[in-house]
Chain A
Amino acid sequence: MIKINRISKSFNNKVILSNISGEFEQGKTNLIIGSSGTGKSVLLKCIVGLLQPDSGNVFYDLRNFTEADKEMKAEIRREIGMLFQGGALFDSKNVEKNVMFPLDVLTTMPMDEKLERVNFCLRRVGLENINSKMPSEISGGMKKRVGIARAIVNNPNYLFCDEPNSGLDPQTAILIDELIAEITHEFNITTTVVTHDMNSVMGIGEKIMFVYKGIKLWEGSNAEIMDSGVKELDDFVFTNKVMRSLKGK
């Protein structure tokens, strides 16, 4: 479980996040949702330590990450897998080397075991026989899947996904969402997804945090989101016709 406690962050005196608290539960897909520019990605970066919050703390299973020393931070980070918006695959390495990378630098596993684990993860995300392809030779959806394979290869306890289905066609986006949810349940990991895609919200949002202008306005599940009673959330949820028609029913 990840707990965040009163996280605040400003850039050049502009407040981006203000006193955000909440919990991300183990074995569930936890979503951080909100419009573009509302501070979701900044919040995610504060949680994984890419940004230092101005105030507040992040706890990974009761371990205070924000105030941890460098060794403790490195130890916690080794339990983290992250899927970046563009995949963030290393251009100079092929798919196999990309997925194997965390094992190369973080473990002393023998080569045959590493290869076995890499192939298992690639099969798990539905990719086979592309080990020797370079990132530039595969599609956007495949890059995301390779990114997921790399994120889970080291058996992480925590998985973070930053806009996992941005730039993908609706079908591939749903496949990626389903894959993230399946992996979360299968390996019982704490997954946190930042998204503004309502398909993801309705499809995999077991626990949802709605952020509006740097403030947490609502928390709940996808079953409760239609009747939140929060105007800003309603504006966000019912922007498209399909959602509006659902509300009418």
Chain B
Amino acid sequence: MKEFGQYVMFIGSLFVRRETFKTYYKLTLDECILIGVKSISLVALVSFFIGAVTTVQTAYNLVSPLIPRFVISEVVREMTLLELAPTIIALIYAGKIGSSMAGGLGTMRITEQIDALEVMGINSSSYLVLPKITASILTYPLLVIIAGVCALTGGYLVGTISGVVTPNDFVYGLRYNFNDFNITFALIKSFVFAFLISSISSFKGYYTQGGALEVGIASTAAVTASVIAVLLSDYLLAQLLLRA
């Protein structure tokens, strides 16, 4: 509870004694490139294969001749939109970006770079962390959209090349009984996950004490706490927003 209180105060501290908009604008753009653009290839690769594997495994389990083949792509679509794109990518995002944020801030802490900012009269938490959270909230939903497209593309290519489903069936299944709220739901989740991962990782890194060993521990703790927060919020959002 003490740590949670400290986390809430940390989030509050981001919004006091802020620097100029111009300063944040530049920093946020830099972070968008670092966090978002440089993650595209990993996200695309992972989601392509997730889509491909989901298609093959769904086809493997649908053995009854009474079930039409377009159900394969319908299942892949639902899984991708509801869980694979926002949540599985969030876990990968926590591993890549969360640990990088915690490690970077932890190193700045132990090498007195954060103290240097404070001595200059700059609110170090706001200056360093607010652009990271903003960039994360701006770019992670876009990564989720890319992940969704890549997963469905992967499913389509593997499904049609391997012959488990025809191109027409796959496209028909994608469009069949489509509920557009699922996209809204995926985007709501992506905003929440982006905030949780970036803020928790920054918090863990910002309060690192000690040396190189503690920076490593902070990075690990950041990933662990982010993953738990993502899974917990995933369940809560599903309960709140997906009531039949």
Using a CB–CB cutoff of 8 Å, the interface residues on chain A facing chain B are 48-50, 70, 73-78, 80, 82, 84-86, 88-91, 101-102, 104-106, 160
Contact = CB atoms under 8 A, between A and B. Distances in A.
Contacts of A82: 116, 119
Contacts of A160: 119
Given A70-B17, A74-B17, A105-B23, A88 B121 contact: no
A5 B127 CA distance: 32
Interface residues of B, number: 17
B111 interface: yes
B195 to A, nearest CB: 24
By Cβ-Cβ distance, the 4 closest A-B pairs, closest first, are A77-B121, A88-B112, A74-B121, A88-B116
B118 A88 contact: no
A151 to B, nearest CB: 9
11 contacts: A70-B17, A78-B120, A82-B119, A86-B112, A88-B111, A88-B112, A102-B120, A104-B23, A105-B19, A105-B23, A106-B121
Nearest to B16: A70
B107 interface: yes
Nearest to B113: A88
Contacts of A104: 23
Nearest to A154: B120
Contacts of A84: 112, 115-116
B122 interface: yes
Contacts of B121: 73-78, 80, 106
Contacts of A77: 118-121
A72 to B, nearest CB: 11
B112 A105 contact: no
Given A70-B17, A74-B17, A91-B107, A106 B112 contact: no
